[in-house]
Amino acid sequence: MLILFLLSVAFASPGEAQLAREIKTISLDAHGRVGVACSLPGSTLDCDLNPKARLPMQSVYKFPIAMAVLHAVEQSKLSLTDNVKFVPADLISPGQHSPLRDVHPQANVDVRLSELLRLAVSESDGVASDILLRTVGGPAVVDQYVRDLRISGMQIKDGEKAIGRDPRVQYRNYAEPQAMVDLLRRLADRSPFTAAHTAFLIKLMTETETGPRRIKGLLPAGTIVAHKTGTSGQDGGVTHATNDVGLITLPDGRLLAVAVMVVDSPASESIREGVIARIARAIYNAAASPVNAR
């Protein structure tokens, strides 16, 4: 294994080696585990840092949940116009994020499926996500759907309510950064959905309100980013997960897939988010450079 590693370093281009060093150096500021992967078809871009580490997704898992729901829609098992009952059993703990619960604290309202998807993806609403999980058949259905797409390195076992009861549960919902990039590329390059449903999901991800200082934080003004964030709480001053994964539209129109996951970090939120933003900018600069141009 050591010989293979040394050979890979020896034959890496200067640009690739420089990017890898830059990402590694930036990651040290988090004082935790950092996983990075990216993909730009037709390029030799290499930004791997622990790309096969199994890291807790937190709300990033709402991206594959949304894909599983749209799959059910395309199978005519569900419709975006369906009204789904938000029942009291769907309520999650007060400390967990849910604009839907904040507006309807007693539950007992009907919510259109398309609105649940918007809330879960664009606003990272935990109640909406759990309702979607319940509606589609539970975590096992989403987990199997991802496997059916031939994406390995991702596991979905629990919903928001279970995570809220026991912080250790969040580690059961893991993804390797490379697996998340593979799923992003599947949506971007060979979408399993109709053009309309693909555009709908990418629109929801582009309108994501969370994490403006993460992947998007240091990119040129006006850069389009379709992404999904994930954030945990703290235990003993350690934040279990600060994540962002998404598709960055380059100036030439190509889509750059990036996943940056910061795990078990004692650093402040500004530092954790800054690590993600700086890594994303480094990858963007390398991707947009002449050597990687079409």
pLDDT of residue 292: 74
For the chain, give every domain's residue range.
Answer: 13-292
- Tell me: pLDDT of 2 over 50: no
Position 15 pLDDT exceeds 70: no
- As a whole-number percent, the residues of the chain with pLDDT over 70 amount to 94
pLDDT recorded at residue 294: 62
pLDDT tens digit string along 167-195?
A: 889 999 999 999 999 999 999 999 999 99
- For the segment(s) 13-292, the CATH number from 3.30.1490.20, 3.10.20.30, 1.10.3720.10, 3.40.710.10 is 3.40.710.10
Q: What is the dihedral of CA 228, 50, 142, 195, to 10 degrees?
A: 50
Using 50, 70 and 90 to split pLDDT, how confident is the model at 10? very low
Judged against a pLDDT cut of 80, whether residue 16 lies above it is answered with: no
Report the pLDDT value the prediction gives residue 91, as an integer from 0 to 100. Answer: 92
The whole-angstrom separation of Cα 184 and Cα 294 is: 20
How far is 55 from 33, CA to CA, in rounded Å? 9
Span 125-134, average pLDDT: 96
Active-site residue set = 59
pLDDT at 9: 41
Q: Is the pLDDT of residue 119 over 70?
A: yes
Which residues neighbour 104 within 8 Å (Cβ) at sequence distance 6 or greater?
86
pLDDT of residue 94: 87
Tokens encoding 90: 């769907």
Mean pLDDT of the region 138-151 = 98
pLDDT value of residue 12 = 46
pLDDT digits (tens, 9 = 90+) for 47-101: 999 999 999 999 999 999 999 999 999 999 999 999 999 999 999 888 898 999 9
pLDDT of 112 reads: 98
Residue 110 has pLDDT above 60, yes or no: yes
Instruction: Give the residue-averaged pLDDT of 113-135.
Output: 97
**Better-predicted residue by pLDDT, 290 or 216:** 216
Rounded to an integer, the average pLDDT of 232-246 is: 95
Does position 124 have pLDDT exceeding 50, yes or no?
yes
pLDDT band per the 50, 70, 90 thresholds, residue 293: low
Residue with tokens 């026991």: 166
